[in-house]
């Protein structure tokens, strides 16, 4: 058995990792000998100049030693740690170059963070030239990820592991950041199989007897033995404001199973500032309204599954890869047909608007039929189902497939949301109004932009001129009430974009729920890429609702998530909960986060 495999088994058996930032090579040796005596693993952090010398000293004194090198940030550090004798590498983030070095040496790599669990597994599988299933079976020491930070102030992220294990079954999770004796039992309650890393295990390293006693206390808790003080239940939802409660829900929202349904397309864009009519090269992204929502929710820690139909060729495989990299469950995606829909995007700037050309006729998804999906199986145990008005615009067969899903969701008690997403190039306002009206009885949350209520349902907004960017909030409050009264929605949300130019907007939103009408703060945003911004809002709002936030907080989270999307190229909103919280909490300076 290779050292890295033996180290992985040692970690699974001992389940405690003592983190050391060494003051000397000799301190590394002392720490290792204490860890060996107590049956736990040592991680030596690359925050010290003594790391490689310390690992070498341990290996010289104890040739059989199995050591983790931690806080590895570069490929060079990974190479140095492996050369010194480290049997495993722990990284502060998902750093592809570090993963590649470890896979090249067949050394366990444990990237860390809150959102890249799936992405790093895909990278490892690609490095070995195997499937994800083969990675799990042949290289179990690589089927691992570090959740960091587990705790930050009053907030906890330990619930995320449950979401990761939806698509990534049996993933080994190492918890670190905020792990102490006081929080240990709380994390164990959330994940009885976890591995726990803490510097607190070695806080009294100068007193060997005291350190051994402290480690023994921790081991007793991990093994299920008694402890002298009771621990409070672990908070299972990350708070929007670390200083106060934002919602009165049951706290068990993050990690909910969510299904989204729609078409996934390939997007081709010339570089910013270049025109489609003269383009010589294109950037490739994948996206689609419902897929974008699913990606965001997966990154927020939910078990998000996307339901669609993709062609059984390389373009379909590439699309699947893009979803899997973001942690989206693709197990319910059907494969048939020969075409993936494409759209071309020309980025606007200043007075020149963005331009979109669709090439989706005859796509695989446009040929979907109800028999392609077993909605009863797909929606089993699901908390939320999301779709958009783009799907029924693609044809009666797509509408029938969606209707089957909506009827199953209603029968199974699944909450349903829709983003109207009216597209004039797909259908007329009359047809949209007729079809969408028939689908509304199955909807709990309606989401729309500033134009949709008028174009789809003929509800004109008083005092508003969308073309000039002049919006009257009182008109939208009235429209939200009218929508709710007409269709019986539990909630109505409307995004409010005030356009200054293609490069600069004001952005806000409003929400009508059982507690009244809420208006978010208004952000003044420069625009890198606005495609997918409405989907980012929808995902943020759904996340807020599912994690028990009150209306204003859920609305604020959605608007902040959407603001961040405007700064990111591509359809997917590649942000995590902490980044959204930071903006929602008032941090708009954009200063470097170190």
Give Cβ neighbours of residue 361 (< 8 Å, ≥ 6 apart).
Answer: none
**Cα separation of 416 and 413, whole Å?**
9
pLDDT of residue 139: 96
Confidence check: pLDDT of 236 > 60: no
- Closest residue by Cα to residue 99 from 40, 139, 41: 139
Confidence check: pLDDT of 243 > 60: no
Q: Which residue has the higher pLDDT, 167 or 337?
A: 337
Q: Describe the chain by its helix, strand, coil percentages, rounded to 5.
A: 40, 20, 40
pLDDT of residue 248: 29
**Which range (117-121, 164-168, 195-199, 302-306) has the least confidence?**
164-168
pLDDT of residue 463: 75
pLDDT of residue 48: 85
**Cα separation of 84 and 129, whole Å?**
27
Determine the average pLDDT of the residues in 346-369: 92
pLDDT of residue 255: 53
* Element of type H or E holding 267: strand 265-269
Burial of 451 (0-12, 13-18, 19+ CB in 10 A): middle
pLDDT of residue 468: 64
**Which range (171-180, 242-251, 343-352, 425-434) has the least confidence?**
242-251
**Which range (153-167, 433-447, 502-516) has the least confidence?**
153-167
Residues labelled catalytic: 535
pLDDT of residue 168: 87
pLDDT of residue 508: 95
Q: Which residue has the higher pLDDT, 235 or 210?
A: 210
pLDDT grade for 469, boundaries at 50, 70 and 90 = low
Coil, strand, or helix at residue 39?
A: coil
pLDDT of residue 232: 33
pLDDT tens across 46-70, in order?
Answer: 988 999 999 999 999 999 999 999 9
Contact 240, 553 (CB under 8 A): yes
pLDDT of residue 498: 87
CB atoms closer than 10 angstroms to residue 393? 21
**Cα separation of 253 and 505, whole Å?**
32
Query: Positive or negative, the Cα torsion across 112, 118, 119, 122?
Result: positive
All structural domains of the chain, each given as residue ranges with its CATH number in brackets, are: 3-222 (3.20.20.70), 257-584 (3.40.1190.20)
pLDDT of residue 159: 82
Determine the average pLDDT of the residues in 419-438: 95
Distance of CA 284 to the CA centre of its chain: 21
pLDDT tens across 131-158, in order?
Answer: 999 999 999 999 999 999 888 766 778 8
pLDDT tens across 319-354, in order?
Answer: 999 999 999 999 999 999 999 999 999 988 888 989
């Amino acid at each position: 058995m290779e050292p890295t495999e033996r180290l992985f088994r040692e970690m699974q058996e001992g389940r405690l990792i003592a983190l050391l930032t060494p003051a000397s090579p000799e301190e590394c040796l002392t720490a290792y000998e204490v860890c060996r005596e107590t049956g736990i693993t040592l991680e030596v952090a690359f925050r010290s100049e003594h790391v490689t010398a310390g690992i070498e000293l341990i290996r010289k004194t104890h040739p059989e030693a199995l050591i983790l090198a931690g806080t590895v940030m570069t490929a060079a550090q990974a190479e140095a740690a492996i050369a010194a004798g480290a049997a495993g590498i722990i990284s502060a983030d998902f750093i592809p170059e570090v993963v590649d070095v470890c896979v090249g040496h067949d050394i366990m790599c444990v990237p860390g963070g809150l959102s890249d669990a799936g992405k790093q597994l895909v990278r490892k599988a690609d490095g070995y030239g195997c499937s994800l299933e083969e990675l799990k079976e042949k290289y179990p020491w690589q089927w691992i990820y570090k959740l960091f930070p587990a705790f930050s102030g009053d907030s906890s992220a330990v619930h995320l592991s449950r979401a990761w294990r939806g698509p990534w079954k049996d993933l080994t999770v190492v918890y670190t950041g905020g792990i102490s004796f006081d929080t240990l039992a709380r994390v164990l309650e959330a994940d009885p199989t976890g591995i726990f890393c803490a510097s607190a295990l070695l806080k009294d390293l100068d007193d060997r007897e005291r350190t051994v006693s402290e480690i023994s206390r921790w081991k007793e808790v991990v093994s299920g033995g008694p402890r002298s003080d009771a621990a409070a239940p672990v908070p299972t939802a990350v708070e929007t404001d670390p200083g106060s409660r934002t919602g009165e829900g049951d706290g068990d929202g993050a990690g909910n199973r969510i299904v989204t349904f729609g078409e996934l397309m390939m997007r081709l864009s010339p570089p910013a500032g270049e025109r489609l009519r003269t383009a010589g090269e294109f950037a490739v992204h994948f996206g689609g309204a419902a897929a974008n929502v699913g990606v965001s929710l997966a990154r927020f820690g939910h078990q998000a599954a996307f339901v669609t139909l993709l062609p059984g060729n390389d373009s379909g495989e590439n699309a699947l890869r893009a979803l899997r990299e973001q942690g989206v469950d693709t197990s319910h995606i059907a494969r048939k047909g020969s075409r993936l829909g494409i759209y071309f995007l020309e980025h606007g700037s200043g007075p020149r608007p963005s331009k979109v050309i669709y090439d989706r006729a005859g796509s695989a998804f446009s040929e979907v039929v109800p028999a392609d999906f077993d909605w009863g199986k797909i929606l089993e145990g699901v908390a939320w189902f999301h779709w958009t008005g783009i799907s029924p615009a693609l044809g009666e067969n797509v509408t029938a497939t969606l209707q089957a899903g909506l009827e199953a969701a209603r029968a199974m008690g699944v909450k349903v949301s829709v983003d109207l997403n009216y597209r004039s190039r797909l259908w007329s306002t009359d047809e949209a109004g007729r079809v969408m009206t028939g689908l509304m009885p199955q909807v709990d949350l309606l989401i729309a932009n500033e134009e949709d209520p008028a174009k789809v349902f003929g509800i004109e907004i008083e005092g508003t001129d969308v073309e000039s960017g002049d919006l009257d909030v009182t008109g939208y409050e009235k429209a939200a009430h009218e929508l709710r009264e007409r269709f019986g929605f539990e909630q109505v949300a409307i995004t409010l974009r005030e356009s200054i130019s293609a490069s600069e907007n004001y952005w806000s939103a409003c929400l009508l729920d059982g507690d009244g009408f809420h208006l978010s703060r208004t952000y003044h945003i420069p625009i890198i890429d606005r495609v997918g911004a409405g989907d980012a809002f929808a995902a943020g709002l759904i996340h807020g609702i599912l994690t028990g936030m009150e209306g204003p907080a859920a609305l604020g989270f959605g608007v902040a998530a959407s603001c961040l999307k405007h700064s990111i190229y591509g359809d997917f909103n590649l942000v995590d909960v902490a980044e959204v919280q930071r903006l929602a909490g008032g941090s708009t300076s954009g200063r470097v986060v170190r």
